[in-house]
Amino acid sequence: MSTSTLKKVALYTLGAFSGVALSLSVQSFAAEKDKKDNETLPVQSIRNMAEVYGQIKANYYQDKSDADLFEGAMKGMVSDLDPHSEYMDKKGYADMKESTSGEFGGLGMEIGQEDGFIKVIAPIEDTPAERAGVKSGDFIAKIDNVSTRGLTTSEAVKKMRGKPGTKITLTLSRKNVDKPIVVNLTRAIIKVKSVRHHLLEPNYGYIRVSQFQERTVAGINEAAKALIKANKGAPLKGIILDLRDDPGGLLDGAVGVSAAFLPADAKVVSTKGRDGKEGMVLKARPEDYIRTSGRDPLADLPAELKTIPMTVLINSGSASASEIVAGALQDHKRAVVVGTQSFGKGSVQTLIPLSNGSAVKLTTALYYTSNEISTPDSNEAAKADENAKSKKGKDKEKDEDLSSRRIPNPAKDDQLRKALDLVKNPAEWQKSLGLAAKKPAPKKDKKDGKDESK
């Protein structure tokens, strides 16, 4: 028998022996578990994994380190759970933390995984991705001519991030487009300005949230004050919150933005875990949106933001935190939601640091607004407007939407125009919310004070 064959047999035997030893220790551990939950560890499955490990070590054509094999096993185990769960190595974990700080290098888009491919949730405005024409719902089939099939989102992020000024080519697959779309981009430092504002016309303000970050809640307060200043110091009469192509971000940011427009202690979102019971409940109160001890970023918020007519704009790129905000404001009949169907990401991911500096991002619960709805419904009138347009007209409108968000223009943006018309007409706004319009106070006879109303 040759030396190489002996080595393989020895390795295989070692793997098999390790599997048996592991199984025995697992069985011993399982026997000691609390009998009340009537659960045992999957001994046979663990034995099978040990056997696969032994076969790889004995027969695979390349010598793979134990660290690589176990890291690959962890990635596969987590990524197979759902499109939003993943294992992150040290670099991936660092990139994740960096992306919520508001400045990072790359192309400027939020991505996820679907059907084994990388999908664009939303391009971030005023970034290389948006300027190149990348759209919500696009699939990234190739990165620099290499297929993305099987890549995790963190692996795809690694490939797309790089030194500012360097080139990258993406091959996109788009619904209703027969041929692949090839776009050439130049990496840049992505500085995401979370909140923008604009006075559309006297008394009516516009606030755009492009991503929920650490300073988003404070940014809402600053935007509201700036709008009042631009309105010559007069209180606003209506507000539009634009969450289109907002891929989400920090959960406490969503709670804080909701709290800016809702009554104190109003329920914003709750979660349900594997047992189906309500778990975490977050409300419009400082302790549920202040990240660290300190001053409430909404402490001196203009009071009229709690009561004036309000609309929220969403589309297929509105996901996660933006859906929580839209759903909470809709449930409490605080705002009319205008636009098209949102992305539909009704789950909560928890980022769990591991002892070696890596992390695992797990879907730990589903989230629900106060009316037990997982995603908001867009305004039916606006849906009808969208469906009535031709495909060419929709594409044209999409281009105009993106450009008009930097300087919003209702004349070029049908959804924005519809939203503005609603807040300018309180009776129609209340009707869209399902509220009865307030009746004028009855007139009284000047002589005897009797009610003249019939």
Alpha helices in 90-206 (DSSP H): 90-99, 128-131, 153-160
Is residue 367 helix, strand or coil?
A: strand
Question: CA-CA distance, 354 to 154, in Å (whole number)?
Answer: 16
417: Cα separation from own chain's centroid? 26
Residues serving a catalytic function are 320, 331, 345
Beta strands 117-123 and 139-143 are antiparallel
374 in Cβ contact with 346 (< 8 Å): yes
Q: How far apart are CA 207 and CA 230, in angstroms?
A: 13
CB distance 257 to 214 below 8 Å: no
Tokens of 415: 């959804």
Strand runs labelled E in 59-148: 86-88, 103-106, 109-114, 117-123, 139-143, 146-147
- Return all residues near 65 (Cβ < 8 A) that are at least 6 apart: none
On whether the CB atoms of residues 209 and 257 are closer than 8 A, the answer is yes
Angle, to 10 degrees, between the axis of helix 414-424 and the axis of helix 380-387? 150
**Distance from C-alpha of 35 to C-alpha of 361, rounded to nearest angstrom:** 30
The burial of 79, by beta-carbon neighbours within 10 Å (0-12 exposed, 13-18 middle, 19 or more buried), is given as buried
HSE-up of residue 412 (Cα within 13 Å, Cβ side): 15
Tell me how crowded residue 114 is: count the other CB atoms within 10 A of its CB: 12
b/e 265-299 (16+ beta carbons within 10 angstroms → b): ebbbbbbbeeeeeebeebbbebebbbeeeeebbbe
Query: What is the C-alpha separation between 151 and 163, in angstroms, rounded?
Result: 21
CA proximity to 308, closest of 207, 204, 428 = 204
Q: How far apart are CA 159 and CA 228, in angstroms?
A: 44
AA letter at 211: Q
Partner residues linked to 249 by β-bridges: 212
Rounded Cα gap, residues 83 and 80, in angstroms: 8
DSSP reduced 3-state for 79: helix
